[in-house]
């Protein structure tokens, strides 16, 4: 079941605005708004941490060659 509620649109300076009723509050500090046909879609921006981002990546199915460690200059590395 989709919740809906009648609201009024008003002007705030040069912008059109609405008040978001409590039952539709977003749990975020920022949101993205976009228009699809005659609808406005508002979605919260959720920032993901590094581990969450890495979890969305697919597994690499490649064999990597062995590294000849004798060729690596591990002792004389300048940063």
17: CATH: 2.10.260.10
63 within a domain of the structure (yes/no): no
Q: How many domains does the chain have?
A: 1
The burial of 35, by beta-carbon neighbours within 10 Å (0-12 exposed, 13-18 middle, 19 or more buried), is given as exposed
When pLDDT is cut at 50, 70 and 90, the band that residue 76 belongs to is low
Tell me if the pTM is above 0.75.
Answer: no
72 within a domain of the structure (yes/no): no
Q: Residue 53 is part of which domain span?
A: 1-57
4 within a domain of the structure (yes/no): yes
| Local structure of 71: helix, strand or coil | helix
Which DSSP category does 51 fall into? H
44 within a domain of the structure (yes/no): yes
Please say whether the beta carbons of 10 and 26 come within 8 A.
no
15 within a domain of the structure (yes/no): yes
14 within a domain of the structure (yes/no): yes
pLDDT tens digits, one per residue of 12-51: 999 999 999 999 999 888 999 999 999 999 999 988 888 8
């Amino acid at each position: 079941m989709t919740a809906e509620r009648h609201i009024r649109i008003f002007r705030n300076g040069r912008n059109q605005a609405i008040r978001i009723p409590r039952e539709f509050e977003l749990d975020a500090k920022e949101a993205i708004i976009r228009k699809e046909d005659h609808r406005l879609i508002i979605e919260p921006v959720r920032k993901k941490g590094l581990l969450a981002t890495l979890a969305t990546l697919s597994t690499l199915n490649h064999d990597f060659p062995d590294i000849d460690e004798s060729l690596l200059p591990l002792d004389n590395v300048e940063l």
